[in-house]
Structure 1
């Protein structure tokens, strides 16, 4: 035991900087949750002589006209992202698995994975140019086939779906790599036996590949439930405008606007705390289901 501790302390020391950052940036701000129960005045300090109002901020949040709309937008957009973010990587992984040429396969994997490393600040500028109704590439193509230009980022009918499609385009490469890794763990002798029995590639996919991916698909599905109230602040913040508040305003952007721009600190903190409690509950349920269904455990 002494030998094991002596040889693992450098590994624990490597974890120390990350542990300190988590304490500072993740656990330290939890003290600010008291603002949800105060009529907060910044000049008095966090633990100064603030006026405690109990549940008044939560009552105001429930009665505020835009709260239900914002919660619905968040659930609607996040749910579509979860479903599309699970289906698209599975389909792409199955398609890439059929590519026989190894060099071409690696090239395609790199291409689909590349957008994952780009920030939404950069991608939003690209999307604004591509989707512009006046000079954007997409609307130029639509004009060529006789379709009127579509204001993807300024029309409430199109904006939620634009968010979902652009998010899937950015992130599906990561999921594809995960599912490809699960495919490589399938016993090749199963495919050999299927060929002997006369199964074509489609039947091999349906009866061998998909069942072999079942556990990782279930795991990824269950774990994604924890993101049901995370519709993507960075993406929405960089793409939305007042014209699409009705369909694109989510909890995170709403909290940012009423808290930092309108200085309603208690109100914004109350909504943020509500979201955190619901997200924590969903994540707890998701990990329990992951353990029960897929035997997934962190510790």
Structure 2
């Protein structure tokens, strides 16, 4: 799965690299989102009392989201410790390019699977005030692995910290409004198409299986599983691990267009040891 994801992201289907004009536009939009969120949402009041703010960007890719938030916090005079994590090490170093010319930001990059964050950071001395999961990344996690992500992340976040997930409602937006597509053009360039094709559905994981190919030639790129989450389900699963949950609807009414829905969690319960979910039920993978 790790290598399959890496092969797919190497094709730049989704803009997130600093040299990409569309990614730069996206980065600037994210800064608008974070500027509005930090200055208006109650969850940030306690966080802003800190002189130094620790931020972790989970499944960060190039660290574009974490860098956008760090940029805003630095502009408010805060010192920022930003840690970008992903299983794809090639993209992580690009976070430094997003932060060129930005002061008061210390950056670390750590290769880590999001479902084992508590292990990767077991010797880390500080907790995080803000955790991000950006770019509709929940589709990479089936219900079983999403529970593990929530549990693992909750043990890294400070008691007054916040976990923010950028999300979209795929049940309503894709399955109902658009309709699931057996064949879908993912990206078009001057000389090729990148397409995805339905390969099956795993009932035990709740995930669709899709193959990605290059046309002409029909060369296989990767085979991946994707889960079509809706807003309420992701919010409810997170509620198991956090006392407070808020759903921020799209901010277009404030003329801010840089994100989808935001699910925000505060006050991690930390009552469930992440190792509880270390071994998955046999019905999922067997032995």
**TM-score under structure 1 length normalisation:** 0.22
Greater length-normalized contact order (CA 8 Å, ≥ 6 residues apart): 1
Return the index of the structure with the highest Cα Rg: 1
Task: Tell me which protein shows more strand as a share of its residues.
Answer: 2
Higher helix proportion (structure 1 or 2): 1
TM-score, length-normalised on structure 2? 0.23
